Amino acid sequence: MVISTGHEIEVKLRCDSVASLEHAGIKLTLERARHFEENWLFDTPDHQLGSGLAVLRVRAMEGAGLLTYKAPPPAGSPISQFKKRIEIETTIGDPERMVAILTHMGYRKWFHYQKYRTVYDALLPNVIGRSGSGLALGVGVEREHVGGEPRIG
């Protein structure tokens, strides 16, 4: 089981192709090939999570899955295109059973979505690291395939 806890800073930008990122000097390394994902978002019957901008998600992909909790943004955070919050995530062996557990605990499925995703790591060449070269920031470039057309986001 893998459990990760950390601060997530998420920014979604539209980009038409992987080639345009590479042309801009961003070095991309394939982290995870194109795969299908199914996602369920949960909330309490009185919408405690959503009203506080928190997220509880079950993601199924290739026979395994992830349970993710995204905490609300810190109080007083400015409204921005950057989403900064604590994220706690763990792997789960049977996502459908996790959906059943959460449902039996009183959580309600309020949103369900499916998509194809390709994930890359990105090396940003114009950001100088300690070595004096480009800096790898653990930037994930996710290529979402919506309606048959790939989209970087």
Local confidence band at 27 (pLDDT 50, 70, 90 cut-offs)? confident
Block residue for tokens 């309600």: 108
Domains for the chain: give ranges and CATH numbers: 3-152 (2.40.320.10)
Q: What is the pTM of this model?
A: 0.74
Local confidence band at 59 (pLDDT 50, 70, 90 cut-offs)? very high
